[in-house]
Amino acid sequence: MNLNQQAIHLKHREGASESTRYIAIASGKGGVGKTVLSLSVGKCLADSGKKTLIIDADFGLSNVHLMLGITPSKNLVHFFLGEATFEDIVVRVNENLSFVSSGNGIYELVKLPKDQILSLVKRLQELAEDNYSYVIFDTPPGIHDDTLTVVSSVDFPLVVTTPEPTAVADAYALIKIINKENQLEKFYLVVNKVENNHEAIKVYESIKLLTEKYTTATLTFVGSIRYRKNLIRKIIEQDPFEKGFIEDVYNILASMDTEVKPRKLSFWDSLLSRLLRR
C-alpha cells in the first residue's frame, strides 16, 4: 500500500479544537531501538498529562503489542476493511496512553481502492485529533514508501540511529531520500546505545556533515540514550520501560519543544551521573 503525501497529510485538520501534534520515529535499518523509543516517548508524554496514541505503522511486522505483552482482538487492518470501529482497535495501556496495532494484513490493504484508503485515513485522522494531543507513528525501518510519506507529513520527524557504521550510513540515506523525494527540510536525530554523549555527538556530526554537503536538510541533535544491559531483560519480560532510558527520553522531548520538561535528577542520580562522566 502506497499512501501518498496528499492522502495522509497530517498537519493539521481544519476546525480541530486543539492542534494534535504528530511524531514519526524512523530508522534506516532495524535493530536500533526504534520501537522501544516509540513506546518510551509515548509513556513520557502520557506521564506528563498528554493524551497520547501510538500507531504501529509497520504493516506485516507489527510488534508494539508484543513488547507490551498485549494481544489486541482488532487492529488497524480491521478498521481499514470496515470490520471494526476506531474504538474497537484502540488498546488502552493507562489513563493517557493507548496504541493501535497494524496487524499483518498488508496484502488485504493493497487491494483497497486508493480513494477508499484516502477516506479511511482522513477518518482515522479525525478520530485521533478528537481524542489525543500527540500521535506517534512507529514506522517500518528502511526506505519504504509508507515510511517516507508518514515521516514527511509529521511535526517531528525523529530519526534514530546507533554508532554502528551501517546504522549511521542508513540513517543518512533515509534523510537524504526523504529530503530529495518529499522536500522535507527539518529532521531530529537521536543516537541510541552509546557509552556517553560525546560518542553520540561524533555520530551526529558525521551525519550532519553529509547532510549539509549533499542535501538541503537541517539536522538537529536532540539527545542520546546510553546502552543499558538490563533493557534487554525488560523487553524479554514484556516490560520495556527502563528507568534510565525513560530519563534520557524526557530530556530528548524537552529538546524538541514538545511541552515536556526534562526530569530533575535526584541528588544520588545527579551524583552518579557526574561520577560516570569523569
Domain residues for the domain of 156 are: 21-257
Asked, for residue 208, whether it belongs to a domain, the answer is yes
Write down the pLDDT at residue 269: 52
Q: Classify strands 90-92 and 97-100 as parallel, antiparallel or unpaired.
A: antiparallel
CATH number at residue 60: 3.40.50.300
256-277 tens-digit pLDDT: 877 665 545 544 454 445 444 4
What does the block give as the cell for 219? Answer: 539536522
What pLDDT is attached to residue 274? 46
pLDDT for the residue 218: 96
Residue 10 within any structural domain of the chain: no
Q: CB neighbours of 168 closer than 8 A, spacing ≥ 6? A: 161, 162, 203, 206, 207
CA 138, CA 3: separation in Å to the nearest integer? Answer: 16
Q: What angle do CA 49, 157, 9 make, to 5 degrees?
A: 90
User: First-to-last CA distance in the chain?
Assistant: 51
- Residue 53 has a pLDDT of 95
Residue-level pLDDT at 81? 83
pLDDT of residue 146: 72
Please report whether residue 53 resides in a domain: yes
Count how many domains the chain has: 1
Of 53, 71, 49, the residue nearest 62 (C-alpha): 71
In a domain, 2, yes or no: no
Predicted local confidence at residue 149, as pLDDT: 81
Instruction: Enter the pTM of the model.
Output: 0.84
Listed in order, strand segments (DSSP E) in 97-217 are 97-100, 134-138, 156-161, 186-194
Position 141 in a domain: yes
Give the pLDDT of the chain (278 residues) as one tens digit per residue. 444 444 344 555 455 556 889 999 999 998 899 999 999 999 999 999 999 999 988 766 678 888 899 989 998 888 888 899 989 999 999 999 999 998 776 667 666 677 777 777 788 888 888 999 999 999 888 887 778 888 888 889 999 999 999 999 999 999 999 999 989 999 999 999 999 999 999 999 999 999 999 999 999 999 999 998 888 888 888 888 999 999 999 999 999 877 665 545 544 454 445 444 44
